[in-house]
Structure 1
Amino acid sequence: MASGSEKYDTALLAILQNEGKVAPFLDEVLGFLYRRTDFFRIMKTDTDRLGFPPGVAYKLLKNIFKKYEILAQKDSEKADQMRQARKKKQETQEQQSEASNMQTPTEPSQAPLCQGTSGANDQDKRGQEESAVASSEPQGEGDRVEQMETSSESETQNAKSSESKSGDGEDEEDPELARQRRELQANPLTYNGAEREAYFWSQNITEVDVRVKVPKSIVKGKQMKVDIKSKHIHVALQESDGSWRDLVNSELSWDVDKEESMWTLSPGEFVHINLEKKQERWWENVFTDEPKINTKKIDCSRPMTDLDDEAQAKIEEMMFNQRQKQLGLPQSHEVKTHEMLRKAWDAEGSPFKGQPFDPSRFSVDPSGVVNFNQQT
């Protein structure tokens, strides 16, 4: 039997194959939530028993999307690393093969010659012994001075090397800590954050996600109490005897917008608290009473989804233009001008009337100005 999220793959795959494309598949899934659940119902008052507060259902979808978006990014990075490792290994093997081919084979005639030249070998040995005796004789003053200068230079170089290493020590990271950090970054629950005894936390530039661990017996929201304030979080669970036990009761490191923050329960796993930061900044810790992380070692890039529509449109246009330029195709400003000229090309009074549209007859600069090329 399939485990985890794969247990429904067969049923979902059948729906996807029937719909043929992702968009209608997603439409069917959300349509099911609309028809059979209160997912799209908005709670108008605190006494409403069904639905979600305004914006909460959308945030829930957004958080789940971000979870798998991060996983996909990590999969892509891992695949790139594997490709680079294979390429490096192949290059190393090729270099070793070339080096092996370049080595000169030993001449077969050398072995017999060595066997018949014992006298020469004896002379070589005597020469080596004389050299050894000469090296053991007392050195002159000049030799000693030269040796002292060489030793002094070596010590100076070693001292400079030690100073350089000690000066760069702040940027160096213990290998074990580096391994732990990579594992945290690879986990969506601790991405740009950390794992603590009672909770996980992750963050981007605008939000913090805290997941407080709960026992398997916690399966309903009414078994939990979650109080979110601008700079304080209190999470408690109800014991079997009806008493309440604190899981988290701590001050936040920075202010959050409690009106935009929310919490949901993943039965038997954790309480997921999504916090909206008051300021766009990277947090070193989520609570003031926990150790700090090194924000210089996290992923400080901002996903396009965090930018406003205008900024996203500009970035997409730049990416489109870069691809078009590499392929030798018209860029965005040229495409718009081409469409306008195509309509006027064969219009009444046009000097090109009756001729096929030919973009090579003109060029368009980035400001949109059209320059017609002289015919040769």
Structure 2
Amino acid sequence: MKSRDDKLGFPPGVSLKMLTAVKDIARKKKICMKASPANVDDETMESHVAVKPDASLEGSSDTAFVAETNTNKQTQAAVNPEFIPHKPSDTQSTTAKAQASGDQSATKTDSKDTEDSHLTKQQAEFQSNPDSYNGAVRDNYSWAQSITDLDVKVKVPSYIKKGRDVKVDIAKKHLKVSHKDDQGQWKVLVDGSLTWEVHKDECIWTLNPGANVQVTLEKREERWWEALLDGEEKISVRKIDASRPMTDLDDEAQAKIEEMMYNDRRKKMGLPTSQEQKVQDIMKNAWDAEGSPFKGQAYDPSKFSVDPSGLINMKPS
């Protein structure tokens, strides 16, 4: 310690005493491990205080060491569980805070695991229903989605049989569905802002008499929606079916996938892929060409290899 007010460290001379005591640790190790806390003497306890060099005091005549505790009472508390100090040290307070923080983290982790389990179970129920596939079921409507569009079904009373009894307003980021009640008054079923924008001119709706109003919305961007309307409970897009049918892809992408599938089948059969076959055809034509070192020899594909990038490597003769 540099002064009596320091919270960590030892008075002058104690560090030398500790260094001397450390020399005896090897001899006393077996005794200390077998001894009960009541049989551990002060010198043994002092020799077990964790120490580390204090870089700020390097070069002084008496090398100082900083310990995790600064009083014999705190050392006794570490060894004897029945000892109760009058005032906890900073280290003990820090440890208690760390433990409390760890408990809070564990509680948050358990809460998150429970929430994830609930979402997984809920989404599994939604996935089993065609009306909420990749979407959700809400109080008076359900919605499903693909990467390009959404299908919303809004429940209507059984007496709604004609389209004139229904009103559907679709904006680029808003949806409102209403119907006439038995008093001839308009009743709103759905009225809210969409999570993302849609192509309103490409959206359509139809009435399934006595059942629901079906609204098809075309997304402006190809993305998965977490909710149909703002403020609605969100689903986890990690737990939906994010695969896309090949028919949704352009011609170039479909051709690439078909080529990959073809090459995979060829590899399983031990045959060259389309790229490897193309290279072999070129090599076969050039094998006996004018100026070729192999002119006049039978074509032998074992004399070269083709890497996945199409590069030809000649093997040593």
**CA distance in 1 between partners of 2:228 and 2:146 (Å):** 12
Unaligned segments of structure 2, at least 5 residues: 1-35, 42-75, 83-91
Is the alpha carbon distance of 1:211 and 1:148 closer, same or farther for their aligned partners in structure 2, counting shifts above 3 Å? same
Is the alpha carbon distance of 1:166 and 1:371 closer, same or farther for their aligned partners in structure 2, counting shifts above 3 Å? same
Greater RCO between the two (CA within 8 Å, min separation 6)?
A: 2
- State the match for 1:45 in structure 2: none
Mapped contact 1:345–1:353 kept (Cα < 8 A): no
Identical counterparts, % of pairs: 41
**CA drift at 1:241:** 6.5
Pick from 38, 49, 73 the counterpart of residue 140 of structure 1.
38
**CA distance in 2 between partners of 1:140 and 1:374 (Å):** 80
**CA drift at 1:329:** 2.5
Unaligned segments of structure 1, at least 5 residues: 1-137
Is the alpha carbon distance of 1:250 and 1:159 closer, same or farther for their aligned partners in structure 2, counting shifts above 3 Å? closer
Find the residue that maps to 2:215 and give its secondary structure: strand
Aligned residues: 234
Pick from 141, 153, 160 the counterpart of residue 211 of structure 1.
153
- State the match for 1:278 in structure 2: 220
Paired AA for residue 190 in structure 1: S
Paired AA for residue 148 in structure 2: T
**CA offset digits 1:3-24 (Å, max 9, x no partner):** xxxxxxxxxxxxxxxxxxxxxx
**CA drift at 1:300:** 7.3
Find the residue that maps to 2:189 and give its secondary structure: strand
**CA distance in 1 between partners of 2:219 and 2:150 (Å):** 7
Tell me whether 1:263 sits opposite 2:196 in the alignment.
Answer: no
- State the match for 2:168 in structure 1: 226
Find the residue that maps to 2:114 and give its secondary structure: coil
**CA drift at 1:199:** 0.4
- State the match for 1:198 in structure 2: 140
Is the alpha carbon distance of 1:300 and 1:181 closer, same or farther for their aligned partners in structure 2, counting shifts above 3 Å? closer
**CA drift at 1:200:** 0.4
**CA drift at 1:363:** 3.7
- State the match for 2:234 in structure 1: 293
**CA drift at 1:212:** 1.0
- State the match for 1:44 in structure 2: none
**CA offset digits 1:153-196 (Å, max 9, x no partner):** x9899657524414535742334454223212333322332211
**CA distance in 1 between partners of 2:37 and 2:286 (Å):** 96
- State the match for 1:330 in structure 2: 272
Find the residue that maps to 2:195 and give its secondary structure: coil
Pick from 247, 253, 270 the counterpart of residue 195 of structure 2.
253
Worse-matched range after superposition: 207-216 or 319-328: 319-328
Is the alpha carbon distance of 1:296 and 1:233 closer, same or farther for their aligned partners in structure 2, counting shifts above 3 Å? closer
**CA distance in 2 between partners of 1:255 and 1:322 (Å):** 40
Larger Rg, first or second structure (1 or 2): 2
Is the alpha carbon distance of 1:358 and 1:265 closer, same or farther for their aligned partners in structure 2, counting shifts above 3 Å? farther
- State the match for 1:187 in structure 2: 129
